[in-house]
Amino acid sequence: MSTLKLHNHVSFEALPARLARASASSHARALALSTWLLKRKRDGRFLAAVDTRGQMQRLAPMRASEVLALEKFAKQIQAAGRSTGHTLPLAGLEQRLRMLGLSSEDYAHRTGLHLIAEPATLDFAGWDRYQRPLWLTRDTARAWHQMGVAARRDDVHLEAVSGYRGHDYQLRIFERKLGRGQPVEDILRVNAAPGYSEHHSGRALDISSLGEPAAEESFERTDAFQWLSTHAPTFGFRLSYPRNNPHGIVYEPWHWYYIG
């Protein structure tokens, strides 16, 4: 199992440059010499590359305060070797939810869901269906790997559609839809409120199988789903949103959560 890590910060992400090199990039020269790529979470922009000695090379314009925060983060990454199991603070998220006009307490009360903090580190768990890196907590990555091996032994192919997704991912969906004039209540009928998706935890996976569409109820009629229903609990996974779940979330046979 690989030990490639994503280091997480409330405003930034550090991605192993090795993974970024695999995909097309306009920063080829900086990447060839660097170990980490630092990305701004709010807009997904690559801000800097960090080399093996911890030297930072800028790739995009930044505010002075951002440079300072990024330099501090780069030092932390150099110092931190392995997964910590820590999570990041939620204060910034709560502030942004208020700015979007989303009452966090009302939503939590209505759905029985709670705010989920992002992990400080995530492990590379292979590539998802769309050839994007799949990030999961260390324990989830290990369990997902073991479950995949066991399924293959039974001639069942499990494919990851999506794993960890940060708060910013969900916030961007909301900001885009609000920008188009959609009321918050309408958006909440289709999308979980930012901060409340199990995907933020790095312990949730959307699973599909070869040739099957992603995130469709028809997944429940596949061999993969039958296999998961029987064996997933052995590996610590449970179905989060069965039919008529108390959260009022639609039935999601594809969405599994690692409880350990």
Residues binding Zn ion (CB under 5 A) = 206, 255
Using an 8 Å Cβ cutoff, are 203 and 136 in contact? yes
Rounded least distance, CB 161 to Zn ion, Å = 8
Closer to Zn ion by CB, 41 or 255: give it.
255
Work out how close the CB of 194 gets to Zn ion at its nearest, in angstroms, rounded to a whole number.
14
DSSP 63: -
Q: Minimal distance in Å, beta carbon 163 to Zn ion?
A: 9
Determine contact, residues 133/19, Cβ cutoff 8 Å: yes
Q: How far is the CB of 102 from Zn ion (least distance, A)?
A: 20
How many whole angstroms separate alpha carbon 208 and alpha carbon 169?
21
Is the Cβ of residue 78 or residue 111 nearer to Zn ion in the bound state? 111
Residue 96 to residues 12, 35, 140, 181, 197, Cα–Cα distance (Å): 16, 32, 29, 18, 16
Nearer to Zn ion, 13 or 252 (CB): 252
CB of 144 to Zn ion, least distance (A): 14
Burial per residue of 67-83, b for 16 or more beta-carbon CB atoms within 10 angstroms, e otherwise = eebbeebbeebeeeeeb
Residue with the CB atom nearest Zn ion in the bound state: 255
Residue with Cβ nearer Zn ion (9 or 203): 203
Question: Do 118 and 88 touch, CB atoms closer than 8 A?
Answer: yes
Cβ proximity to Zn ion: between 35 and 240 the closer is: 240
Question: What's the rounded Cα separation, in Å, for the pair 60 and 102?
Answer: 32
Shorter beta-carbon distance to Zn ion: residue 200 or 255: 255
Which among 142, 111, 96 has a CA at the least distance from the CA of 260?
Answer: 142
In the complex, the smallest distance separating the C-beta of residue 204 from Zn ion, rounded to whole angstroms, is 6
Beta-carbon contacts of 198 under 8 Å, excluding residues fewer than 6 positions away, are 116, 204, 240, 255, 257
Indicate the residue among 46 and 144 with the shorter CB distance to Zn ion: 144
Q: Give me the helices (H) in the chain, please.
A: 17-22, 28-33, 64-79, 91-99, 104-111, 138-153, 167-179, 184-190, 223-231
- Min separation Cβ 205 and Zn ion, Å: 7
